[in-house]
Structure 1
Amino acid sequence: MTKNRKVLFLSLALVAVILVLGGTTVSGYMQASKYKMNLNYNYQRAVTDLGDCVDNIENTLNKSIYANTPTQQNGLAAKLMRETSMAKAALGILPLESGNLANVNKFISQVGDFSMALSSKISAGGSISEEEYASMENLEQYAKKLKEGLDGIQPDFDAGPVDASFQQAADDFTDYPSLIYDGPFSDHIGQQEPKLLAGQSEVPQGNAQNNAASFLGVTQDKLTHTQDSAGGLPTYNFDCGTIRISVTKAGGVVSAMTDGREIGEIRLDADGARTAAQGFLEAKGIQNMKESYYVINDGICTINYAYSQDGVTCYPDLVKVAVALDTGGIVEYNATGYIMNHTDRGELTPKITQEEAQKSVSPRLKVESGSLALIPTPGLNEVLCYEFQCTGENEDRVLVYINASTGMEEQIFILMQSDSGVLVK
């Protein structure tokens, strides 16, 4: 090949490379532009959907104030639940960073949750109270404010987060009032105080450390005071080797203990773990606890216990004990549920008989046994029920809870049993 031909060949090759790279760059740019256009379309669609949903929420709340039959009230409640679900989905798509719409998100969640609580009440034969009507009127006014705040919003999605565009809507919700009802988003949830510790004064750190040492069976000097915990159940926290233990500031009650040691060769089965856990509870003076369910993971058997009052299983009063299957030692103890919920409930008396309650159980289920149980509602209230253990089709094990006052179904669980334990879903 002559020198001129070599130069020509290299020049053509270089041109080809440049064309390929250029084409790739253009293609990449076009793909990026298309992706950005699609993303902006989705954002704009979310703004439109959010506005439409809020408009429907306001309209439906307005109708709900005047609805007077259970059928109509339940239908409107179902519509509110659908609209709030779609509004939350739309809000979740938008590129927001500052969290200044937290109250807006809370409002939307509470409308849907409040609607579900009302629907359950109506289905059980109850009626909407004057206070609940007042709450609906209040919610309607805030829905109207939110609708006005969203009208005309045209965020510039190319500029990044669009929090500023929603500032007016956020400002309208700075004074959003508390809403109390029986649901998981009710404002009283975050205000719950530990019932077991009601009226008890705060103990000094040294006293709490003594209680922790006594619980572990060591001297006080073996413990190191670490960062305290705040929140709904303030605690002093201490370390002792691989063990972390927490003691409530009010009353000085041990609320939790975990031992992070490694688990050796497994020597115990679930029955052995039960025996060890029961012995531990008795040694600590924790009485009247009924075993419910257990699970085995990584050489540890975790058993749940619920307080039993005159034959009634009080599921809110929960204590968790975890047993290491190598030595039978206790590697976790958690009494938070018991401390937050245990109180003097007086006599727990049903208004209907077990036979009457059993009539509400599906004919597709064979009832194996029944007993009284106190179960928590979504809003952390309590309801007395008959707990029926049943067998369903395909040998499903089913728990059905029938309200002991109204005869209405309150809850249904499927028991899941395997070599790893028994759990409910």
Structure 2
Amino acid sequence: MNKKRTATLVGALALIVTLGATTAAGYASANKYKMYLDYNYKRALGDLSGSVSNIETTLNKSVYANTATQQNGLASKLMRESTMAKSALSVLPVTDHSLDNVSKFVTQVGDFATTMSTKVSAGQKITDDEYKTMQDLEKFAKSLQSGLQNVKTNIQSDKLADEFKKTSEDFTNFPSLIYDGPFSDHISQMKPKLTEGRAEIPQGNAQNIAANFLSVASNKLTHVQDNGGNLPTYNFTANDGKLRICVTKRGGFVSTFDNMRSVTTENLGYKDAAKKAENFLSAHGITDMKQTYYVMNDGVCTINYAYDKNDIIYYPDLVKVSVALDNGEIVRFNSTGYVMNHHDRTVKAKISADQAQASVSKKLKIEERRLALIPTPGLSEVLCYEFLCTGQNKDRVLVYINATTGYEEQILILLQSDNGILVK
């Protein structure tokens, strides 16, 4: 073989290798781009579903809002959710008209909210017809939210279409235990009040506290990496890491405990679980706690307790106890809310319960009322009158009226089922 032919062959082989590498790189780049599109489309569909769900809840609350401050706040939330829904719609690769009704709906909600906000700001009252419009929009939101679970989206890839369908079916609106969801977002930004001014204990003392809490020998626990941040804790594990417990470095309070065993059968009901939880709190010297709300999920009943003293319930001072429904064992304990917030307070209402009740919507039938301290988004607390009410369509509604100003602070919709009591 002469040199010219050899050079030509080498050049051809090099070209083949280069083209092969280029083709492989092209395929890899295309797959990467496809994964990127999949992620963005799924996220957009999730954002859309979440916004429609939030619109439904806000419209439900708006029917019962009775003061300009609360009405304006809810209108602002509707406008924000409408804008977010529109943004999510703009990302979805829809080529037909399958989501036209969604686009029309979110636009109507935004326009309606703007109109109501302008009207309320001008000192005008919302009319009965406008309240009826809110109810109609709420029903439509509920219908759309259900439709989003089964929407068939026309996009370029059949696989992507399947993913969209599966993703939409997987989206579920999970409400939260009262104040747990909204308040837990702020805990990491706070300084714990219960441990303030208390001395830091040695790691060995913390291990003894953890062992006593779990009723096990101290040498059965293994010290693992500690937590820092605003709530420093000593951390210990047992049972090959399946059991974990955290003790605050200052004061030596058990903040969390988690037994990650599986629960496959349910032999107990809510009342049995509540009795087990109350006995557990009593045995550990945790007193003046009132049961508030609960949820049963995956064989475990989680019960919320709030500090209750002198006829005032302090919702920020939260303790959660989880009971396994197979044998009544306590499998989770969380007192982070209590550790972060509990301290001596002097609070007093400046208006009477009757004066506060005048701010509650006439559309609600009041069943119970009491004083309650609730957290605010600004990391503070406000004393309110809590009114448990029945609304239209047998809605169970909690209304919180500021015990100083008489303004509505919060409206919550209670969701009660065989699996517990939750709020939205």
**Is it true that 1:292 corresponds to 2:292 in the alignment?**
yes
Matches within 5 A, 1:63-78: none
Match of 2:220 among 222, 225, 242: 222
How many residues are matched? 268
Q: Give the Cα–Cα distance (whole angstroms) in 2 for the partners of residues 378 and 290 of structure 1.
A: 23
Partner of 1:239: 237
Matches within 5 A, 1:197-212: 197-212=195-210
Distance of aligned partners of 1:388 and 1:78 in 2 relative to their CA distance in 1, 3 Å threshold: closer
Partner of 2:409: 410
Give how far 1:268 is off.
0.7
The structure having more radius of gyration, on CA atoms, is: 1
Partner of 1:349: 348
Query: Greater relative contact order (Cα 8 A, min sep 6): structure 1 or 2?
Result: 2
Matches within 5 A, 1:290-369: 290-346=290-346, 348-369=347-368
Q: Give the Cα–Cα distance (whole angstroms) in 2 for the partners of residues 379 and 387 of structure 1.
A: 20
Counterpart amino acid of residue 362 in structure 2: P
Q: Is the 8 A contact 2:289 2:305 kept in 1?
A: yes
Q: Deviations over 1:225-253 (max 9, x none)?
A: 11111122111110111311000111111
Partner of 2:399: 400
Partner of 2:99: none
Partner of 2:65: none
Q: Give the Cα–Cα distance (whole angstroms) in 1 for the partners of residues 302 and 394 of structure 2.
A: 26
Q: Which runs of 4+ in 1 moved over 2 A?
A: 188-191
Give how far 1:190 is off.
5.6
Give how far 1:312 is off.
0.4
Q: Deviations over 1:38-71 (max 9, x none)?
A: x9xxxxxxxxxxxxxxxxxxxxxxxxxxxxxx99
SS in 1 for 2:327: coil
Q: Give the Cα–Cα distance (whole angstroms) in 1 for the partners of residues 189 and 390 of structure 2.
A: 40
Percent identical: 62
Partner of 1:248: 248
Partner of 1:374: 373
SS in 2 for 1:228: strand
Counterpart amino acid of residue 202 in structure 1: E
Structure 1 gaps of 5+ residues are 1-24, 40-69, 94-118, 124-183
Structure 2 gaps of 5+ residues are 1-22, 38-67, 92-116, 122-181
Counterpart amino acid of residue 310 in structure 2: D
Partner of 1:18: none
Counterpart amino acid of residue 236 in structure 2: F
Distance of aligned partners of 1:379 and 1:189 in 2 relative to their CA distance in 1, 3 Å threshold: farther
Q: Give the Cα–Cα distance (whole angstroms) in 1 for the partners of residues 299 and 422 of structure 2.
A: 17
Q: Give the Cα–Cα distance (whole angstroms) in 2 for the partners of residues 189 and 261 of structure 1.
A: 27
Q: Is the 8 A contact 1:256 1:335 kept in 2?
A: yes
SS in 1 for 2:421: strand
Q: Is the 8 A contact 2:223 2:235 kept in 1?
A: yes
Matches within 5 A, 1:162-201: 191-201=189-199
SS in 1 for 2:350: coil
Give how far 1:265 is off.
2.5
Partner of 2:127: none
Partner of 2:387: 388
Counterpart amino acid of residue 287 in structure 1: T
Q: Deviations over 1:384-403 (max 9, x none)?
A: 00000000001000000000
